[in-house]
């Protein structure tokens, strides 16, 4: 039986981000509210591209980048001989949220972290009310909320 291409399910692929993804990743970051430019993102991606402690993965649906996750391996002072991986960015295109893409990106992040020998995955998220759906998502996929504060200091 031959299937019409319009009846085929979309194909999702999670892969390492490349410079060809620059425009779409920049657009995703802007959509999420992070002001950036193509030139700034080009510099960032170039600096991380060959850094074994950083990884950017993209979710590609039918050949279009619709999500991304940024990862950074961190050597821990409080976990003996173990490293941990931080999710530094997790974005799924707004019109596709709630369809499992974020979960698939996090699963790929877990795989990458394990390959690096890491024992834990963590992320930081603001405590603003508009972040509540993201917090519910993180709990739903197995993250535990911890108490604590994030302190920032600008270095001028």
Q: Domain residue spans in the chain?
A: 9-140
Task: Tell me what pLDDT residue 35 has.
Answer: 86
The pLDDT profile of the chain, 156 residues, written as one tens digit per residue, is: 344 455 667 788 999 999 999 999 999 999 888 888 999 999 999 999 889 999 999 999 989 999 999 999 988 776 666 788 999 999 999 898 888 899 999 999 999 999 998 888 998 887 778 788 888 888 999 988 887 767 777 788
Task: Tell me what pLDDT residue 113 has.
Answer: 93
Task: Tell me what pLDDT residue 129 has.
Answer: 82
CA distances from 7 to 1, 63, 100 (A): 13, 17, 20
Task: Tell me what pLDDT residue 2 has.
Answer: 41
Task: Tell me what pLDDT residue 4 has.
Answer: 47
Helix (H, G, I), strand (E, B) or coil at 12: strand
Task: Tell me what pLDDT residue 155 has.
Answer: 86
Q: How far apart, in whole angstroms, are the C-alpha atoms of residue 76 and residue 117?
A: 12
**Considering only CA atoms, which of 72, 77, 88, 85 is closest in space to residue 119?**
85
CATH number of 9-140: 3.40.630.30
């Amino acid at each position: 039986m031959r299937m019409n291409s319009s009846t085929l399910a979309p194909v999702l692929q999670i892969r390492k981000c490349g410079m060809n993804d620059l425009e779409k990743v920049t657009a995703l970051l802007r959509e999420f509210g992070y002001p950036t430019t193509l030139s700034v993102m080009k510099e960032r991606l170039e600096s991380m591209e060959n850094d074994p402690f950083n990884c950017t993965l993209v979710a590609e649906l039918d050949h279009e980048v619709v999500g991304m996750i940024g990862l950074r391996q961190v050597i821990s002072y409080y976990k003996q001989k173990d490293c941990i991986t931080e999710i530094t960015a997790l974005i799924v295109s707004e019109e596709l949220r709630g369809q499992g893409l974020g979960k698939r990106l996090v699963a790929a992040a877990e795989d990458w972290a394990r390959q690096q020998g890491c024992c834990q995955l963590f992320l930081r998220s603001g405590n603003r009310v508009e972040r509540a759906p993201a917090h519910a998502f993180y709990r739903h996929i197995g993250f535990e909320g911890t108490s604590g504060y994030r302190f920032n200091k600008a270095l001028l």
